[in-house]
Structure 1
Amino acid sequence: MGGEVFVVRGPVARDDVPGLCERLAAHARRGGAAVLTVDVSALVAPPGGGASNAVVVEALARMRLTAKRLGCRVQFLNVGGGLQGLLGWLGLGEMGGQPEEREEARGVQERVDPGDAAV
């Protein structure tokens, strides 16, 4: 992996996300790496919030966008199983270190009907 790991400690509230992204940007500028390694094992949402999982997903997505704007990629480490499942359900599985899985459509055959108009 190489480089210094950026560790995110929780809980994180929606108002904390911009500051978190600013700290990540400063870390990226100091290190100059093409891939930023971010340990999210301690990232949790504040207790009692109904949107707590949404806040964590927002934080990850905004950190990823921040890195992209700086010309970097982000590799998230230690994404917990529950969060990994949520990211996969939202179609963001690659954010948690797992490639997105897409199933091929089964039983679908393409054919051209000679009566169809050319497009």
Structure 2
Amino acid sequence: MDEVLFVVEGPVRRAEVPALCDRLAAVVRARGARVVTVDATAMGGPGADALQALARLRLTARRLGVELRFVGLDRGLVGLLGWLGLGQVVGEAEEGEEPGGVEEGVDARDPPV
């Protein structure tokens, strides 16, 4: 299976983050996933525990070579990530950059750099 849904039960506490990452790794390995959609609806609002969980899940996915997508994230948490310059953790574009997977268009009439 190429894509799986990974539901985060929450709210997540710091002590639970390693087990959460282990569960993600087990799901990816068992199902052969290449893309994991994380349902973070119950993860919780902006705070250190949720930030750590998101960052560690992203790191775990990167180590496993899978793409991670998030749905259901608290708006305050997404805003906090952007404010901290960590919006790319959840796929938000940084200021002046295109969102992930979007290439800037090139106009053939533009002079070369």
Q: TM-score, normalised by structure 1?
A: 0.72
1:27-76 Cα offsets, whole Å, 9 max, x none, are 1112212221111011027xxxxxx7011000000011011111112111
Task: Say whether the 8 Å CA contact 2:17–2:53 is kept in structure 1.
Answer: yes
Partner of 1:48: none
Residues 1:73 and 1:3: Cα distance change in structure 2 (over 3 Å): closer
Structure 1 counterpart of 2:95, one-letter code: E
Structure 1: 4+ residue segments shifted above 6 A: none
Identical counterparts, % of pairs: 53
Indicate the RMSD between aligned Cα atoms, in angstroms. Answer: 1.8
Partner of 1:72: 66
Count residues with an aligned counterpart: 96
Q: TM-score, normalised by structure 2?
A: 0.76
Distance 1:62 1:96 in 2: 12
Distance 1:6 1:40 in 2: 9
Partner of 2:32: 32
Q: Which has the larger radius of gyration?
A: 1
Structure 2 counterpart of 1:97, one-letter code: G
Structure 1 counterpart of 2:85, one-letter code: G
